[in-house]
Amino acid sequence: MKRIYLDYASATPIDSRVLDFSRWYLEDMVGNPSSLHSLGLQAKKAMEESREKIAGFINAENESTIIFTGGSTESNNLAIQGCSLRNTGKGKQVAASAIEHISVLNPMKYLQKNGFRFSLIPVDSQGLVDLEQLEDIVTKETLITSIMYANNEIGTIEPIKEISSLVHEKGLYLHVDAVAAGGYVPLDVQKDNIDLLTLSSSALYGPLGAGVLYVKPGIKLQSILPGGGQERGLRSGSENIFALVGMGEAARIAKKERAKETPRFQNIRDSLIDGILKIDDSFLTGHPTLRLPHHASFRFSYIEGESILLSLDMYNIQVATGSACSSRTLEPSHVLLAIGLKHEEAHGSMVLTLGRSNTSKEVPHVITAVTNTVEKLRDLSPLYKKKK
């Protein structure tokens, strides 16, 4: 039985073109970018070329705004802690939407334990940030407000430009976690007036172990990883040249192919949504139209998401239930609770995220497998009564 992988939001394979492009830096490259000899200068040149590609990918002012990190969690921590600790003279409040990734929420909770005020901004039932509440919560003492570009669990895309205007009118700096959106929707930090933006290499079909934090010119951060002073003194440590070069190439490919891939993803996504919503007591989570083109998320009454995941795996179909980063806890997704679902409703979630390997030919098999799985699990559930 052919594998159908539908969990690209959790893990994305490295693109073979990216691997071919950057393989030499893994197998033969020995230069350290901080070294002044020819091999060191060669490594530095490759890294700066990658920085230029990523700056172009998000329409940054220049390549010096791109800070390389070890991944998106580190980028989020550098943005939130670095901005807050560096600018305490301007205020001691931080804020985030209630559906942010835990790599945003936990650094803010850490700051809260160390004297900062932390405010959660509510969202509506479809995951859109409540702009009136944002306007009430954010003040001139709010150092950083973090709103993700799009949610990885429910797919909703936020009105970032409008949010940016409100944040800069009421508070100070806007951080945007764009990991889920990178490669699937156009990103323009200048047009949207974004101060800090996080990207992940692996979400772009690049190597694991690399991330980026865009820092708008003039924004001051404090390093949270002191050492040798690499990356403008903000992120010390010898650079992973293979991963950073690969990330730049992955961003270039994603930008080039986005216009072609987006409608293809949308067609597959919409076919999956149409077929799966024919199942009784099934519901789409997230916004019906303002959602990522490759993202379809559902909830099913009377059954558990973990059971759906494990049952579909026996069909050789891999899906998710909630975020992979919080899958070790049995608690329901904080995202689903934030959009107003009850605990028992939030437990029955399923997330399908498409990638380059998926085709429209897989849709009928996926719909049949999901339908059979839901029916089987409901037959075993003491809470479900078949409709006559």
Q: Can 325 be counted among the known catalytic residues?
A: yes
| Rounded Cα–Cα distance for residues 1 and 341 (Å) | 36
* Alpha carbons 332 and 144: distance in angstroms, whole number: 27
Chain length of the chain: 388
CA distance 19 to 2: 24
Token pair, residue 199, equals: 């990207």
Can you tell me the distance from the alpha carbon of 9 to that of 320, in angstroms, rounded to the nearest whole number? 9
The two tokens of residue 359 are 């085709």
- Among candidate residues 325, 340, 357, 368, the one labeled active-site is 325
Rounded-to-integer distance, Cα 176 and Cα 181, Å: 10
Beta-carbon neighbour count of residue 94 at 10 Å?
A: 27
**CB 149, CB 175: distance < 8 Å:** no
> Roughly what angle, to the nearest 10 degrees, separates helices 305-313 and 363-380?
130
Which residues does 147 contact at the CB level (< 8 Å), separation at least 6? 96, 97, 100, 121, 129, 158, 160, 163, 167, 174, 175, 176
Measured distance CA(363)–CA(249) in Å, rounded: 31
Catalytic residue list: 325
